[in-house]
Structure 1
Amino acid sequence: MKMNLSCCLYLAMAFFSGPATIFALAPENEVTLHPTTWLGENKITAVHLPKGRTRRLYFTLKKKADLMSVTVSPCAVPIEWSLAVRTLKDKPPKKSHWTSKKSMPEVWWKGSGREVKIYTYTGNAVDTYTGPAYAPASIYILRLKSNERDTQVSAYLHEGPGPSGVFPELPPDPRVHTLGVGMTSVTLSWAPSSSVVVEEGQRGNRPYYEYCVLVNPKHNHRSLCAVREGSKKDENEQMRPGKELKKDWWWHQPDTPEDNESSSALWDNFEDPGCVCKDTESVCTVSDLLPDTQYYFDVFVVDKVNGTSVPYTGTFARTHEEARPAVTPLREGQVKWVNLNGDASSQNGERSFRFKPRGWQQNGLLTMHTCNGTGKVKVTVSTKGQELTTQEVGHELAQIWLHGGPSYLIQLQASHSDKSRFCLRMQASSAYHRRAVPVFPAMLQIKSFNRLRTCNSVTIAWMGTEERSLYCVYRRQIPHGSGKHSSTDRCLDPESRPASERVLCKYFQELDPRRAVTTAVISELDPGVLYVFDVYLMRRWGLPIKYHSKTLRTKSEC
């Protein structure tokens, strides 16, 4: 109890004895309750903004300063920043305990005065406030806040009239213009920066400024810091397990070693941002782009000495599509002969056709087969931009049912590496009443009967279908000693053969496919002569179906 009473008496004596006694109790290295950050003049200050928290920077102006400017450069996200001034009615005491810079704002908070907000901004662009200075006994408060996520911001204070000289200047028209667009390149131009023009006239050949062009397929950027952060984010996502590293950027650094060192602060950890620096040229051609792709282009004028940059107003452009072969109309029932080069990479290795069926049902039948060689053709059919089917077609007749659209795009592409030319035969016909492709015969072989073979006649048989169809038989005599025993060209249709080779035509139909066999007796032949017989299934829709050729010799003696 006595000890407590003595302590209270000591504190009371210290209080009434005056301020000097209290100041003597405070240590010289005492930290204030609210530490402050001061914004220095002509110095770029980096500030880390935690999400949702307001950071404050303070500064005062010299007595002779009548103008000031504050520049704030956000990074990857929009921020809110404001500038306020707090003035004192009475000058702060010269001899005061609160004279250190670290605790100077306490004088304004405790003294008589008022705070006035003089400027506010919200966005992600580099922004500058320029205005007159207030009373000399004033403190300025710069408040910064990010509501989206943690980010970095830089602030710069300049006192006095005129530009600071730290940031490059933009021309009156700061837009990036598109001079030309190609399939894999885009040419850009922009008005020269006045900083670059002045520097070229004063400093000789060694450039202190340069233009940097950035390209990416996502969006425009408002600062190089945003480009750096976006590049890091993309790299982190691409390096996740299960993802391959894919670079959408291209980059070219300056060639001079001194330039690399002078701009090291600006390009620190700035890897592969899709940038090309063109020194002081205001025209740039960006190449190695993908066809039919939209790209966004940004231009920055960079001060390589101070490590600062200012963006032009970016633009965007879409590269042209790859050159595609012309689309040829395919008329109703037209038999088309298409010559293709076996090399699919060549211009003659691809062909495109468009067919529009007749009738309200909009159905059609596409038939085709190759005529010579062993090559195959990749056939892709699409309508309304949607692919219906893709298949390979060889020497066997293929039937593709067309349904679901008013017109059809038929694309042919050689599917083998043999560079020899080969021929494809195709036809497209409207099918008004059909719901599916016509039925093929179960077998395309022609049979003969040796017991029924005579000196001037032979008997052949072939499989038909359950549909009523017309079958035509053709014969061709092989001269004695010619040695040509090859079959008839599979692309030689009945209309192309001489009328003298046609023997007969007959209709046939059998509802039971297992019994769908028909025969024909070919007479008026010469004894001991070799003949080639061909049978064609004549159809209303599609190409005729040709059976495999049959070679027979009549008897010499009967």
Structure 2
Amino acid sequence: MTLSSCLYLAVAFFSGPATIFALAPENEVTLHPTTWLSENKITSVHLPKGRTRRLYFTLKKKADLMSITVSPCAVPIEWSLAVRTLKDKPPKKPHWTSKKSMPELWWRGSGKEVQIHTYTGNAVDTFTGPAHATASIYVLRLKSNEHATQVSAYLHEGTGPSGVFPELPSDPRVHTLGVGMTSVTLRWAPSSSIVAKDGRHGKPPYYEYCVLVDRKHNRRSLCALREGVKKERKDEQMRQKREKAGKEIVWGPLKDWWWQRSDAPEERESPTALLDNFEDPGCVCKDVESVCTVSDLLPDTQYYFDVFVVDRVNGTSMAYTGTFTRTHEEARPAVTSLREGQVKWVTLSGTGSGQQRERLFRFKPRGWQQNGLLTMHTCNGTSNVKVTVSSKDQELTSQEVGHQLAQIWLHGGPSYLIQLQALVPDGSSLPIPKSGSDKFCLRMQASSAYHRRAVPVFPATLQIKSFNKLRTCNSVTIAWMGTEERSLYCVYQRQIPNDAGKHTSTDSCLDPESRPANQRVLCKYFQELNPRRAVTTAVIGELDPGALYMFDVYLMRRWGLPIKYHSKIVRTRSEC
């Protein structure tokens, strides 16, 4: 091969495809045949990542107006339309062989290329403009920079709509009419395609609306929905395979891209074919009403809504401009503030619509330590109350409180949300399937615990003991367990009738301040560092012979409610 021949081939190689076409010998066939864009036919094009695909078309002599519509799928694309006009018309019988494709004739001849439209995005875009000179070839360039995708292109010659794609109204936005906790009502302007076709009798509807609900983002096309559903299916299948195989690496099946011809047109899929076979894709295609209420949503959740008008016959669709909104929060009871050291009486009930089944309180401790003590117990009924304490939307503790006084240590947050909920005897939540007075009275108090690091200790037992040998006609001796902390103990007494079997012990929620002053007989301080020896006694005198008395002891504390010991009934001696 001569030096001139080598230079000739090098210039042809580095000059691009157009030069290769022009200089290719007559007995060679190009590696990338020219792809023509047919009129009035939806052409599906596969776009490899980063590669520019070109489609060519010419217009008829009588065509004075043309439009081209490009529909991206799942990712944004770049597309442009250019026209190349010859200065001299190509000869009717060119001296080139028939193996040469028509675009090669334009590139071999003299002329220039003018770009007439560009677009970048993921929405359906349509260019409409006048036709250029008869001897012109149009070049449609398509490119995807993110990843491989599918694009549909459609060419229409002449004036008026093509009738292949549904028409959007002048206001293509989706409006929100109403928002609830679990439902959203949408409205949009009707499509002129549906208004025109819906009046025909005896024929199935050509068009319908599809409403798409998504929790991530709005989608610009049903093709994007289809690809998203396929990806989710594939990810779910891969996840199941990984779980089944354990530590074994499972590779997904290779796609058939290796042998696929990028220029070959692919079979077009209906935009709603996948939706018909997919269970709950978040898309509802039903009728031609322009108002829709989407139900079964989650409260306090943001949703994205899209509306598509679909042509079932041609398998095309157009997207309205979607919207998004957040559903309302669930109705919650009002939150009541607890004051420092306030004794709060709470009533819960499970019957009647006007009764409160749940109560919420908020307490903010004083001091820089932000510690507090919550004490409570139920006063009547046979049910317990579930207490849940949280701070900064994080649950700190949850426990059941019954007739025994309970203490909950509050620490770790600047303020605390206290939720009370009554429980039936078997432990389940309200409502309670009973009639009558299903009311539960609860007494509680919240106090700031200054310079404390733990909950105050309880006595080892709340039983009161009396000594028979120390019992006289006008006095009795009782004893009870104390604690290692210095505390005040007060003793109350009241005389009861001799038929003691008809009398029960004092209400456990009856605090000392609610009792008559003449019932208090003594108060004393006590402290014992050894819990096993923390026993104190009191001699109660000035009693009547042979009388029946009920004694109550209260542990008076600086923090929290007073602790009431179990009532003790003692009879004085009749004869001494």
Same-fold status (TM-score > 0.5): yes
- Are 1:474 and 2:492 counterparts? yes
The residue aligned with 2:272 is 267
Q: Secondary structure at the match of 1:77?
A: coil
Q: Secondary structure at the match of 2:502?
A: coil
- Are 1:332 and 2:330 counterparts? no
Q: 1:102 to 1:225 in 2, by over 3 A?
A: farther
The residue aligned with 1:392 is 400
Distance 1:109 1:209 in 2: 44
Distance 1:536 1:101 in 2: 111
- Are 1:414 and 2:422 counterparts? yes
Q: 1:98 to 1:513 in 2, by over 3 A?
A: farther
Q: Secondary structure at the match of 1:452?
A: coil
The residue aligned with 1:21 is none
Does the Cα contact within 8 Å between 2:389 and 2:418 map onto a contact in 1? yes
Amino acid at match of 2:358: E
Q: Secondary structure at the match of 1:450?
A: coil
**1:353-364, aligned counterparts within 5 Å?**
353-359=361-367, 361-364=369-372
Greater mean deviation of Cα atoms: 411-420 or 441-450: 411-420
Q: 1:414 Cα shift?
A: 2.4
Q: 1:115 Cα shift?
A: 2.3
Q: 1:34 to 1:92 in 2, by over 3 A?
A: farther
Q: 1:278 Cα shift?
A: 4.5
Amino acid at match of 2:448: S
The residue aligned with 1:14 is none
Does the Cα contact within 8 Å between 1:536 and 1:544 map onto a contact in 2? yes
Q: 1:293 Cα shift?
A: 0.3
The residue aligned with 1:512 is 530
Amino acid at match of 2:347: N
The superposition leaves residues 109-165 of structure 1 with CA deviations (integer Å, 9 ceiling, x where unpaired) of 222232222222111111111122222122111111112122111100011122212
The residue aligned with 2:10 is none
Distance 2:495 2:506 in 1: 11
Q: 1:97 to 1:180 in 2, by over 3 A?
A: farther
- Kindly, what percent of the aligned residue pairs are identical? 81
Q: Choose the corresponding residue for 1:497, options 515, 518, 540.
A: 515
Q: 1:197 Cα shift?
A: 2.4
**1:204-353, aligned counterparts within 5 Å?**
206-239=204-237, 240-241=239-240, 265-270=270-275, 271=278, 272-341=280-349, 348-353=356-361
Does the Cα contact within 8 Å between 2:387 and 2:418 map onto a contact in 1? yes
Q: 1:42 to 1:216 in 2, by over 3 A?
A: same
Q: 1:129 to 1:297 in 2, by over 3 A?
A: same
Amino acid at match of 1:180: G
Amino acid at match of 1:293: T
Gaps of 5+ in 1: 1-24, 245-262
Greater mean deviation of Cα atoms: 443-452 or 125-134: 443-452
Distance 1:333 1:42 in 2: 82
- Are 1:173 and 2:181 counterparts? no
Q: Secondary structure at the match of 1:486?
A: coil
Q: 1:526 to 1:143 in 2, by over 3 A?
A: same
Does the Cα contact within 8 Å between 1:32 and 1:103 map onto a contact in 2? no
The superposition leaves residues 302-342 of structure 1 with CA deviations (integer Å, 9 ceiling, x where unpaired) of 12221111111100000000000111222222211212236
Q: Please give the root-mean-square deviation of Cα atoms over the aligned residues, in Å.
A: 2.8
Gaps of 5+ in 2: 1-24, 245-267, 433-437
Distance 1:138 1:465 in 2: 104
**1:436-447, aligned counterparts within 5 Å?**
436-447=454-465
TM-score by length of 1: 0.85
TM-score by length of 2: 0.83
Q: 1:100 Cα shift?
A: 6.3
Distance 2:129 2:96 in 1: 29
Q: 1:347 to 1:287 in 2, by over 3 A?
A: farther
The residue aligned with 1:253 is none
Amino acid at match of 1:504: L
Greater mean deviation of Cα atoms: 507-516 or 220-229: 507-516
Q: 1:26 Cα shift?
A: 7.8
Q: 1:215 Cα shift?
A: 0.6
Q: 1:346 to 1:223 in 2, by over 3 A?
A: farther
The superposition leaves residues 347-379 of structure 1 with CA deviations (integer Å, 9 ceiling, x where unpaired) of 733110122334555443211112224422222
Q: 1:227 to 1:488 in 2, by over 3 A?
A: same
Distance 1:554 1:207 in 2: 98
The residue aligned with 1:5 is none
Q: Secondary structure at the match of 1:491?
A: coil
Q: 1:90 Cα shift?
A: 2.5
Q: 1:543 Cα shift?
A: 0.5
